[in-house]
Amino acid sequence: MQKKPELNGTLLEVKDLKVHFPLRGSFVERLVGREPGSVKAVDGVSFQLQRGEVLGLVGESGSGKTTLGRALLRLAEPTEGAIVYDGRDITRVEEREMRSLRRKMQIVFQDPHASLNPAMDLETAVGHPLSIHGVTKDKVDMRRRVSEMLERVGLAPADRFLTKYPGDLSGGQKQRAVLARAIMLNPDLLVADEPVSMLDMSVRAKILELMIGLKDEFDLTYLYITHDLATARFFCDRIAIMYLGRIVELGQTEEIFANPRHPYTASLLRAIPEPDPAKGIPRDLPRGEVPDAVTPPHGCNFHPRCPRAFEVCGWEARDVRDLLEERWAGMAEQEFTREQALIGDLDALDEVSEIARVPSTEGVRSRHVVELLERIRREQPETRLWKGARSIEEGGKEALIQFHEGLEPRHLVVDSVEVECHLYDDEARGRAEEHARKGRK
């Protein structure tokens, strides 16, 4: 087999890719003509994939990893941006042309059981890529190639497996068959979407070893999707950390582990389960849920959970709601009732706005709400949100918290690592210092 030289240039380049899934609004909403919005599964992602490398794509559930992987193969339609494969823009290539391109780009899905047609035996399934692309029509040749490939992925003797149906195989065997099918056409790129996460612990390492072997033998380039940083460290040359549709940090694996730049990466690393649970290292994944991808947080997506967020990170009304709810959840009932009696319906805070309008209850003067907010601020001055608050004022029936203008993090390169965070952006920091100075005066 002819060896392709290692890392000779870019195989795939993604530029500001967005994949939005439109929500199907209710009938009434459509009648009224209101935009039902969309799930911003991938929201502006750029990276390059070098020939022969393994790039890890790591992130929590719902961060858009699978969608990004599917979009690269045009299995999900890109909304904006560009995908350049081997020097060719394939973002808008027609399905017909895409079909022949798929010989060179393959994907392995998370669930090996679901990836195989239950009504198709292994010989047909693994050989199907050959007949789809007309590589061979000859039954004998087909069987020979399939058998070779099955044995290569560890399903030996092949004769035993040719006539098996997916239902007869274990999870690990199925994933081997899926890999065999994917490699059959000798592709360049393999997107592996959590290929081992649904397998037993005992077989995970073996499948990963198999994938490493296949990569060397067939000169593959991998995009390895996982939520497990430990396997990513073992497997990947570079790692991209994804959060809510964006890649927030991308760099060499050692560099990411030794010196995480983005606060989210840092918290993920602290959250890697310790081998010895007795050590009881605190697992401090940032508090809170992953916000929903329909209306992502203002400014930096990560600011509601970020332990280092500051003035310009995008503070907004919804953060005030979270703050109040969290405060009340940990409070004695009596105090909670007294505070809650002052503040009206928190739904008023559910908007994307740099002014939080905290409503007062009927008959309560907004001055009391302002006083309450001031007190909360005094009690917990370290809460990040107050860094972003420019002023707290009375305004009719509500207290107004005005936040500093939020900025979207820019794509920065810091010592060979790509990162999207204001902490590394001198301009943003300058702006924040200015805000802070004015605040002190």
Partner 1 sequence: MARPSLTRLFGPIREARGVPKWVVIAGIAITIAFVVFALFAPWIAPYDFDTYRTADGVRFPKQGHPSGDHLFGTNVQSTDVLSRVIYGARTALEVVILAVIFSLAVGLPLGLISGYFGGKLDRVLLLVMDSLFAFPYLLLAIVVAFLLSDRLGRGVMTAAVSISVVYVPQYYRVVRNHVISVREETYVEAARALGAKPRTVISRYILQNVIQNVPVIATLNAADAILTLAALGFLGYGIQPTDAAEWGYDLQRAISDAGAGIWWTGLFPGFAIVTLVTGLTLLGEGLNDVLNPVLRRRPIQAVILPERQSRLPAGEAGV
Ligand X SMILES: Nc1ncnc2c1ncn2[C@@H]1O[C@H](COP(=O)(O)OP(=O)(O)OP(=O)(O)O)[C@@H](O)[C@H]1O
User: Peptide bond preceding 5: is omega within 30 degrees of 0, i.e. cis?
Assistant: no
Closest distance of CB 190 from ligand X, Å: 17
Task: Give me the least distance between CB of 202 and ligand X, in Å please.
Answer: 22
Contact at 8 Å (CB) between 299 and 314? yes
Q: Does 117 bind partner 1 (CB under 8 A)?
A: yes
Per the CB < 8 A criterion, the answer to whether 270 and 283 are in contact is yes
| Residues 287-306 close enough to bind ligand X by CB under 6 A | 293
Q: Which does 66 bind (CB under 5 to 8 A by kind): partner 1, ligand SF4, Mg ion, none?
A: Mg ion
Give, for 255, the enclosing helix (H) or strand (E). Answer: helix 253-258
Binding piece for ligand X, criterion CB under 6 A, among 4-12, 64-72, 205-213, 296-304? 64-72
* CB neighbours of residue 351 within 10 Å: 13
Nearer to ligand X (CB atom), residue 193 or residue 311:
193
Provide the pairing of β-strand 80-85 with 398-403. unpaired
| DSSP secondary structure of 347-401 | GGG-S--SEEEEEBPTT--HHHHHHHHHHHHHH-TT-THHHHEEEEEEETTEEEE
- Is residue 67 within the footprint of ligand X (CB under 6 A)? yes
Q: What's the number of CA atoms in the CB half-sphere (13 Å) around residue 78?
A: 25
Closer residue to ligand SF4, CB minimum distance, 17 or 309: 309
Residue 133 binding target from ligand X, partner 1, ligand SF4, none, CB below 5 to 8 Å by type: partner 1
d(CA 387, CA 384): 6
The nearer residue to ligand SF4, 109 or 424, going by C-beta atoms, is: 424
Task: Please report how close the Cβ of residue 118 comes to partner 1 at its closest, in angstroms.
Answer: 7
CB of 66 to ligand X, least distance (A): 3
Q: Which of residues 155-194 bind partner 1 (CB under 8 A)?
A: 163, 165, 178, 181
From candidates 63, 106, 175, 366, binder to ligand X by CB under 6 A: 63
Q: Is 115 in the site for partner 1 (CB under 8 A)?
A: yes
Distance CA 176, CA 158 (A): 12
Task: List contacts with ligand X (CB under 6 A).
Answer: 21, 39, 41, 59, 61-67, 227, 293
